[in-house]
Amino acid sequence: MDSILQSPFCNASLLAGLLFLFMGYMIRRYPPRSMKTWYGYRTFSSTINQDTWNEGNRYAAYISRWLGWLLVPFGILMGLVFRRQSELFLYLTVTPVIVGALLLAGFTEWHLLQVFDEDGLPRNKNGGNQKPAV
C-alpha cells in the first residue's frame, strides 16, 4: 500500500482532475433541484433565486468537466516525468488544483454576473434588466 501512495502517479492533479470530472458529470446528469440539497454550486450569487441556482450549477458543471480534462493528463504527465515524489513535485501537482478551483469559482461567478443582475433578474442583450411580465 505504501508504494501506491508514494508513487508519482498518486498526485493531486490526477486525483483532483478525476474528482472534477466526476462532480461535473454528476451535477450535469443529476442537477440539484433545490437550494436545500446537500450538493451543488453554492455561493451568494447562485442562491439568490431558483434561476440563478440552476444556471450556476449548469455552468459550474461545465467548467468542472473542462478543468478535469486538463488536470487528468497533466497529472499523468507529472507521473511520467518524476521518478519519485519530491517538494517540487508537490508544488507542481497541487498548484494547478488550487488554480483550477479558483477558476471554477471565478468563471462561474463572472458568468452569473453576465446573465443576471445583482437582484437575480435576467439581463437583456443590451445589458439592462428585462421588465417582469405583469
- Give dist(CA 114, CA 107) in Å, integer: 11
pLDDT of 4 above 80: no
Mean pLDDT of 60-82: 96
Q: What is the pTM of this model?
A: 0.86
Q: What is the pLDDT of residue 2?
A: 55
pLDDT digits (tens, 9 = 90+) for 16-63: 999 999 999 999 999 999 999 999 999 999 999 999 999 999 999 999
